[in-house]
Structure formats: C-alpha cells, structure tokens
C-alpha cells in the first residue's frame, strides 16, 4: 500500500494537530510565547542547517552523491524533536510548569516550522540550477508562509468565536463548529500555499 504525501497532509496530520491544540494550556503558553517561539523557530532552523552542513562536509564518504538541497531536505525531516516520552515523565513527576509548557509548546510549533521548511526545500530540489536570488526567495517565502498561516488562523479564530457566540443555544451544532472550522482554516491555508499547521494553532 502506497501512502501519498497529500493524504498525510490532508487527512492524518490535521487530527494530530487539533488534538495537541485542544489540550494546550493557553494561559501559560501565551505567557511564555517568546521563549517558546525562540526554541521552536531558531532552535529548529539551527538543527536543520547544522545537520545539513555537517552532512555536506561529510558527503564525500557516502556512496550515494547528493546535492546540498537534498541534504537540507533530509536534515529538515530529522531536525524536529517530538518529546512524547519526556512529557509523560514530566506529568508523572509534576515538573515545574514553566519547563513543561516550554517543552510542550516547542514540540507543537517546531512541527509547523519543519513542515514549512520541508516544503520550501522540496520545491527547490527539482530546480536544475539555483541562483542567489532563488535562495533569497526561498528564505522570504519561509517567513511569508508562516505569517500568512498565522493571519489566516486568526481570521478563522475570530469567525469561529463569533459563530459559537451566536449559536450557544444549539448544543448539537457547537461541537461540529469546533471540529469543522479549524479543519476549514487548515484547508484554506493550504489552498493558498500558507502554513495550515500555524493556522490550526491559532484556533
């Protein structure tokens, strides 16, 4: 059985992100948002580029010759850390809340950063030749895709809040809104080539 990448991004990834978002401690998350973003964005970028450059300097020892972009694509895939076991231990020993939310928030947002970075490098792999302008466009597109996903998520969050406020007497409809609208925000962001995961997180 062959799993197409589009199936993963459209059907498997959204429920995982939605589950993580619903159990997110919002108050502590936004109170430490700067620290979390520093670890998630700069930490993930550092991991990806450090691994990619290390592999590039060692690629002469490999039997299969790969380009720098392909090495960066691979390093992006393995740069995001998913500390599920660490978080379980933290819950058992009741660790400091600041440490817990920093690790949990970073693990949530670094997935979004990794996906945006992966899509950026994946678009560059098939290019026959790359110029300095192409690298500048790729770097700018990383920030555009991220900010665009956040803005789309905020717009859908406002729309979702407005809809749930005026449908609070419809107990059957509200759960559907809370499940359907985040998925629609994700799809809209993906349709316009923005980050669906970052749009998800805003809701």
- DSSP for 104-145? HHHHHHHHHHHHHHHHHHHHHHT-S---HHHHHHHHHHHHHH
Cα–Cα distance measured from residue 137 to residue 73, given in angstroms and rounded to the nearest whole number: 17
Backbone angles phi, psi at 166, to 5 degrees: -95, 5
pLDDT, position 98: 86
9-56 pLDDT per residue, tens? 788 888 877 777 777 777 888 888 889 888 888 988 899 999 999 998
Asked if pLDDT for residue 128 goes beyond 70, the answer is: no
pLDDT, position 1: 64
pLDDT, position 77: 86
Place of tokens 């749009």: 199
DSSP letter at 192 equals T
130-161 pLDDT per residue, tens? 677 777 877 787 788 888 888 999 999 999 98
Q: Which residues contact 15 (CB under 8 A, 6 or more apart)?
A: none
* H or E, element range at 153: helix 132-165
pTM metric for this prediction: 0.76
Average pLDDT over every residue of 96-123: 83
Question: In the predicted model, what is the mean pLDDT of the chain?
Answer: 83
């Amino acid at each position: 059985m062959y799993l197409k990448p589009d199936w993963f991004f459209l059907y498997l990834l959204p429920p995982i992100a939605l589950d993580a978002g619903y159990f997110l401690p919002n108050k502590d998350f936004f109170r430490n948002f700067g620290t979390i973003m520093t670890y998630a964005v700069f930490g993930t970028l550092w991991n990806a580029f450090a691994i990619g450059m290390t592999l590039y300097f060692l690629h002469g020892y490999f039997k299969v010759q790969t380009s720098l972009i392909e090495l960066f694509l691979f390093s992006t895939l393995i740069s995001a850390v998913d500390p599920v076991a660490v978080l379980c231990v933290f819950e058992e020993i009741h660790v400091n809340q600041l440490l817990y939310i920093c690790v949990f928030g970073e693990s949530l947002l670094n997935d979004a950063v990794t996906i945006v970075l992966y899509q950026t490098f994946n678009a560059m792999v098939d290019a026959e030749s790359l110029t300095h302008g192409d690298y500048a466009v790729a770097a700018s597109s990383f920030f555009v895709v991220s900010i665009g996903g956040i803005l789309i998520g905020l717009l859908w969050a406002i729309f979702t809040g407005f809809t749930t406020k005026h449908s609070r007497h419809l107990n059957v409809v509200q759960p559907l809104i809370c499940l359907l609208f985040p998925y629609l925000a994700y799809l809209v962001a993906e349709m316009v080539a923005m980050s669906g995961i970052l749009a998800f997180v805003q809701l």
